[in-house]
Chain A
Amino acid sequence: MARILIADDAPIMRELLASLLIKGGHEIAAEARNGLEAVELYLRHRPELITMDITMPVMDGITAIRHIREKDPSAKIVIFSSLGQQNMIADAIRAGAWDFVAKPFYESRVLDVVSKALAIPSLTGETGES
């Protein structure tokens, strides 16, 4: 259905998400292990959606969102946070993430948020902090 980039530093989480998304009929464009990789891989593959973890080494998810949205204001990003820290999720949303899923990642929720995010018209850049 759609090509998706997964960004998470935990291999087990990437594995889990990938299997869930494939089950939902999606294609995994690439898997990033940190924020910096996510930015690079996004620019290279231009996937339709990014699932972004927040706490990652090298570059955290929020910073990565800012970079990606700067380069492509129409990028669709959904937060997958395994840490229950609301303020960080909020910061990520302010930075331009469209929606979020918090732990536990139930299959139905993951697919729900992904399909909803894919259904929205191309984002324009009006959101976020610019």
Chain B
Amino acid sequence: MHHDTMSEYLGLFLDELDEQLQILDERLLELERDSAQPHTIGTIFRAAHTLKGSSAAMGLIRIKELTHQMENIFDLMRSDRLCVSQALMNVLFDCVDEIKAMKGDIQEGRGENERDIGELLGRLTPFSLGEGADGRPAVSDAKKEGGGAAGPGIAIDGFHSKAILHAWENGFRALRIRAHFMPDETFAYARALVVNNLMQELGEVIASYPTPEELAESDSRHAYVEFLLLTSEEERTIGQRLSQVSQMGEFNVTAVERAELAAEEEERKQSASEASAPGGSGASAEARSARGGQTVRVDVERLEKLLNLVGELLIDNTRLHEVRKRLNEQFGEQPDINELGDIAHQIDKVIGELQDGMMKTRMLPIEQLFNRFPRMMRDVAQQVGKEFDFVMEGKETELDRTLIEEIGDPIIHILRNCADHAIELPEERLLLGKPRQGKIVLKAAHQDNHIVITISDDGKGIDPAKIKAACVGKGVITQAEADKLSDHEAVQLIFRSGVSTARQVTDLSGRGVGMDIVRAHIERLNGLVDIDTKVGRGTTFTIKLPLTLAIIRSLLVGVGEHSFALPLVNVVEIVRLEPEQLQNLQGQEVCVIRGSVFPLVRLADKLGLGGARTESGTEGRPLIVMIGVAEKRVCLVVDRTIGNQEIVIKSLGSYVGQVPYLAGATLLGDGRVGLILDAAAFCREDHLAFRQEEQHAAHAASAELEEQYVSFRMEREQYAIRAGKVREIITVPQLFTIAASPGGVMGMIQLRGRTVPVIDLSRGLGLASRSLKDSSRIIVMELDGRELGIWTDEIGEILKIRKSEAESALEVLPSVQSDWIEGVYHARGQMIILLGIDKRPPRIDETLTLREALLSY
């Protein structure tokens, strides 16, 4: 065997094998659902045929033999001589699986020879001989071995397209004529010539498949011959004339559709022949595949390398900017220096586009991955006896190819769980008053710079009570801890390792096999996974991922002389702590932010940067960056934040190996190496997480009695809102006012790439409009999934207010007709008005005579 040539083409072959197997899988499913689709069978047939040819060329005898037999079966189906049956479908699916397995062997360098396909061939034979597996004849007009198998139809290439367009312009028809031979035809070649002669009499034949010469080969097994004919005759006439050829089977005559033409020709000629040409323009999958030659396969490594170079360029250009800045400082404004700046800016733009383009070349539709699922779900459904409709949406959503490879396993895991555990048995569902068939929806969509994949089912949902009971039973948490958990928190437990691997939990809750692995996997990709479930109604998993792994948006922070990058997706907020917010709990430093306790990690100590002490002056008021992975939060103490930057991730390399807390490295603008922190590693630290949960639970327990409020001042009055929905409190950034904004909306602010409206409550509170002061702060709340900023003159403090301590608005202020004033609280002789903004955002036009009310009080 020519081994060198082999390996050179093997990669190409395997790629093709992949594609064709995909088509087989997809179309077989289609066939199973809807057996009588000639188009479907045609596609399957061509896939099998293509595989037969290429595997034979590669000397892969077993794959060739298997695909050959499959091709025969499809040929029988296509000519209605074999009907689809469950038994047949199962054999065919098994064949596809076997070829996949052989592909795996080949990829691992074992070749295809280890497998015995005899059994499968044995199972296929009865069908090709016209018997079903049950012994009944499945073939209506039995065609024995040697009956002609045929090739695919004519793929319309650029040359054909040109001729067809020309013909259309001159008022001719372009027809695709397929004439089937009789099953026992022994003179297909001669018969094809007869038809060929007839075709030439009727018009101009621009292509035929197979060519008569191909039919002349003694081993030819084509079942039909197809012609592309340019003619002035009508389809009907062609049909009549064809019927005058003796000893021919059925034939079909179809007009060539515009969509079938090769792409480039179509584009070039589109405008010219729009009016005169018949045929639609809907681009079918068929047409896309017919185009061919429009794409180039590129080795991924080459792309990676290019992307790396773009990254370097990015870094070099940042240096250029810095040099310009230094020159400016040294020599002041000089024409040459300014020009240097202009050039650097121009390069910025070019690099930006280059980077964009490079990213796009790495993007693939998630279809690649999704296409594997219908088949898998079918198998799972059969195995477990469930019935459900599997729907996929957003297949065209594009994301980085490395991500596509990585995200497959977690999705498979969740999907399997949905089918296996979440969806009830059909009878069970009927009893529950649900439709017999369940539904599983897999959806992908872009959201800002992320891709969001959701998997929802309408199954039994996850019962938090059962999860809790199981966790307590397994000793993962204590009963006391379990009692403190909210339902949402309880459900999150399925992501805990001790829980998810426990068999009992699986049986009880119906979920959780390896969910910890799912989460770990997603987190490694800088992603987040969330779960939302309703008992009896179903469950939705939401996976949020960055679009790419190669370039991430990051927050650069400084510790001593070192710079570190934190993936922005993990950054929750940046806070300057006050001394009283720092506490010590069981020997672990923690900080209290808006009433919640978070573990505090001093980066300098953690990473062993002993020399780098915190900058003086802020010793007591450390700057922290709160990072989050899933539900966990950890506050990192840093010296300073440097800014947002897109960074190109470079691995640390094998000589450095795995370094704790580091995910990789990048080059910074000044040419120095910046280390990328692994947010997940910090959040994973068990003792930290444990404490946090304990605190969290303790906090939840006390919440029954008291609620936390953030108080703030407007003019001279104190107000307070519940802390629960408060995301963060920020100093006033640049405020973009909007023309004709609704009353009360002061403007918009940019918050980590999002636009957030800022509301001035003054009017509602009967105060004069606000203006910016040093003490002004904006409270950012999340209401119904949207962010909203509330302007305040000054932030007060965190109040813990027991329900009994507050007087309800109705008692105190009976004249106040607003449902968002909840009550009044007295603290240190001051009256604080509690606003229920989180329950219902204020209507801006609400005219509130609160002051009058207060005065009267």
| Choice from B186, B187, B189, B194 contacting A98 with Cβ under 8 Å | B194
Interface residues of B in 177-216 (CB under 8 A from A): 186-187, 189-190, 193-194, 197-198, 200-201, 212, 216
A98 to B367 Cα, complex, angstroms = 51
Which of A14-22, A30-38, A56-64, A109-117 is found at the contact surface with chain B?
A: A109-117
A86 touching B246 in the complex, CB below 8 Å, given contacts A93-B194, A99-B194, A100-B190: no
Kindly state whether residue A74 has any CB partner on chain B within 8 Å. Answer: no
Partner of B187, one of A102, A123, A124: A102
Q: Which of B189, B193, B200, B244 contacts A116 (CB 8 A)?
A: B244
Q: Complex Cα distance A102/B188, Å?
A: 12
A119 proximity list for chain B (CB < 8 A)? 244
Decide if the interface of chain B is mainly helix, strand, loop or mixed.
Answer: helix
B245: interface (CB < 8 Å) = yes
- Give bound CA distance, A101 to B187, whole Å: 10
Name which residue of chain B comes closest to A94, CB basis. Answer: B193
B775 contacts the other chain (CB 8 A) = no
In the complex, A1 has a CB within 8 A of chain B: no
**Is A89 close to B, CB under 8 A?**
yes
Judge whether A43 is part of the interface by a CB distance below 8 angstroms.
no
Let me know if A55 is at the binding interface, CB within 8 A.
no
Verify A113–B187 contact, CB threshold 8 A.
Answer: no
Chain B 131-163 interface 0/1 with A at a Cβ cutoff of 8 Å (1 = within): 000000000000000000000000000000000
Query: A113 to chain B: which residues have CB within 8 Å?
Result: 246-247
Complex: how many Å from CA A117 to CA B246?
8
Using known A-B contacts A113-B247, A124-B201, determine if residue A87 contacts B216 with beta carbons closer than 8 Å.
yes
Whether A90 and B189, one on each chain, are in contact in the complex, defined by CB atoms closer than 8 angstroms, is: yes
What is the minimal beta-carbon distance from B14 to any residue of chain A, in angstroms?
39
Residues of A contacting B197 with CB < 8 Å?
A: 93, 98, 127-128
**Of A93, A116, A120, which is within 8 A of B190 by CB?**
A93
Residues of B within 8 A of A128 (CB): 197
Tell whether A127 pairs with B189 under 8 Å between CB atoms, given A90-B216, A119-B244.
no
Which residues, 232 to 271 on B, are CB-close (under 8 Å) to A?
241, 243-247
Counting contact residues on chain A (CB < 8 A from B), the size range is: 20 to 34
Cβ–Cβ contact A93 & B244, under 8 A:
no
- Report how far A26 CA is from B186 CA in the complex, Å: 28
List the B side residues contacting A124 at CB < 8 Å. Answer: 201
Contacts of B194 in A (CB 8 A): 93, 98-100
Cβ–Cβ < 8 Å partners of B244 in chain A: 116-117, 119-120
Interface band, chain B: 10 to 19
Distance of A93 Cα from B201 Cα, bound (Å) = 13
A-chain residues with CB within 8 Å of residue B198 when the two chains form the complex: 127
Chain A min CB distance to B242 (Å): 11
Most buried by B among A99, A109, A116: A99
- The chain B residue with its CB closest to the CB of A101 is B246
- A87, A102, A112, A126: the one contacting B200 at CB < 8 Å is A126
Shortest CB distance A6–B (Å): 17
Could you say which of B198, B201, B243 has the most chain A C-beta atoms within 10 Å of its C-beta? B201
Could you tell me if B201 and A112 are in contact, using CB atoms closer than 8 angstroms?
no
Are B190 and A86 within 8 A (Cβ)?
Answer: yes
A90 to chain B: closest CB distance in Å? 5
Question: Which residues 70-128 in A have Cβ within 8 Å of B in the complex?
Answer: 84, 86-87, 89-90, 93-94, 98-102, 109, 112-113, 116-117, 119-120, 123-124, 126-128
With both beta carbons as reference points, the residue of chain B lying nearest to A121 in the complex is identified as B241
Shortest Cβ distance from residue B213 to the other chain A in the assembled complex, whole angstroms: 10
Min CB gap B512→A, angstroms: 67
Closest to B213 in A: A90
What's the Cα separation between A18 and B187 when bound, in Å? 25
Q: Which of B187, B190, B247 contacts A112 (CB 8 A)?
A: B247
Q: How far is the CA of A116 from the CA of B241 in the complex (A)?
A: 10
Write the nearest CB–CB distance from A66 to chain B, whole angstroms. Answer: 15
Q: How long is the Cα–Cα vector from A80 to B216 in the complex, in angstroms? A: 19
Complex CA gap A123/B194 in Å reads: 13
A89 lies within 8 A of B201 (CB): no
Report how far A109 CA is from B212 CA in the complex, Å.
23
Cα distance A34–B197 in the bound complex, in angstroms: 26
Instruction: Please report which residues of chain B, range 569-583, place their CB below 8 angstroms from some CB of chain A when the two chains form the complex.
Output: none
In the assembly, what is the distance between CA of A62 and CA of B684, in Å?
88
The interface residues of chain A lying within 8 Å CB-to-CB of B190 are 86, 89-90, 93, 100
Judge whether B201 and A109 touch: CB under 8 Å. no
**In the assembled complex, which residues on chain A have CB atoms less than 8 Å from the CB atom of B201?**
123-124, 126-127
The reply to whether A86 and B187 contact each other, CB–CB distance below 8 Å, is: yes
Distance to closest chain A CB from B578 (angstroms) = 97
User: Taking CB as reference atom, which chain A residue is nearest B241?
Assistant: A120
The residue on A at minimum CB distance from B193 is A93
Beta-carbon contact of B246 and A99 below 8 Å? yes
Q: Once the chains bind, are B246 and A127 in contact (CB under 8 Å)?
A: no
In angstroms, Cα B240 to Cα A116, docked, is 11
The CA-CA distance from A119 to B201 in the complex, in Å, is 16
Give bound CA distance, A126 to B193, whole Å. 14
CA distance A116 to B186 in the complex (A): 20
In the assembled complex, which residues on chain A have CB atoms less than 8 Å from the CB atom of B193?
Answer: 90, 93-94
| Cβ of A77 to closest chain B Cβ, rounded Å | 12
Min C-beta distance of B268 to chain A, whole Å? 33
Q: Which residue of A lies closest to B244 (CB)?
A: A116
Complex interface: chain A residues within 8 A of B247 (CB) = 101, 109, 112-113
A55 CB to nearest chain B CB (Å): 15
Q: Please, which residues of chain A bring their CB within 8 A of the CB of B241? A: 120
CB distance from B234 to the nearest CB of A (A): 15
Q: Inside 8 A of A99's CB, which chain B residues have their CB?
A: 194, 245-246
| CB-contacts of B644-685 with A (<8 A) | none
Decide: B186 and A90 in contact? CB cutoff 8 A: no
Most buried by B among A101, A126, A127: A127
- Of the listed residues B186, B194, B200, the one surrounded by the most CB atoms of chain A closer than 10 A to its CB is B194
**Closest CB-CB distance, A35 to chain B, in whole Å?**
19
Interface centre among A86, A87, A124, A128 (most CB of B within 10 A): A86
A117–B197 alpha-carbon span in the complex (Å): 13
B246 in complex: contacting residue of A89, A112, A123, CB < 8 Å? A112
CA distance A90 to B220 in the complex (A): 15
Q: Shortest distance in angstroms between B13's beta carbon and chain A's nearest beta carbon? A: 34
User: How many angstroms between the C-alpha atoms of A31 and B243 in the bound complex?
Assistant: 29
* Complex CA–CA separation, A76 to B395 (angstroms): 58
State how many angstroms separate the Cβ of B623 from the closest Cβ of chain A.
89
Evaluate contact between A89 and B187: CB separation under 8 angstroms.
Answer: yes
Instruction: Please give, as numbers and ranges, the residues of chain B lying within 8 Å of A102 by CB-CB distance.
Output: 186-187
Q: Give Cα A109–Cα B190 distance, bound, in whole angstroms.
A: 16
Complex formed: what's the CA distance from A120 to B201 in Å? 12
CA distance A89 to B246 in the complex (A): 15
Contact indicator B189/A86 (Cβ below 8 Å): yes
Q: List 24 contacting pairs A-B, 8 Å CB cutoff, sorted by A.
A: A84-B187, A86-B187, A86-B190, A90-B193, A90-B216, A93-B193, A93-B194, A93-B197, A98-B197, A99-B246, A100-B190, A112-B246, A113-B246, A116-B243, A116-B244, A116-B246, A117-B244, A117-B246, A126-B200, A126-B201, A127-B197, A127-B200, A127-B201, A128-B197
Lowest 3 CB-CB distances: which A-B pairs, in order? A113-B246, A89-B190, A127-B197
Q: Please give 14 more A-B residue pairs, beta carbons under 8 A apart, in addition to A90-B212, A120-B241.
A: A84-B186, A86-B186, A87-B216, A98-B194, A100-B187, A109-B247, A112-B247, A116-B246, A117-B244, A123-B201, A124-B201, A126-B200, A127-B201, A128-B197
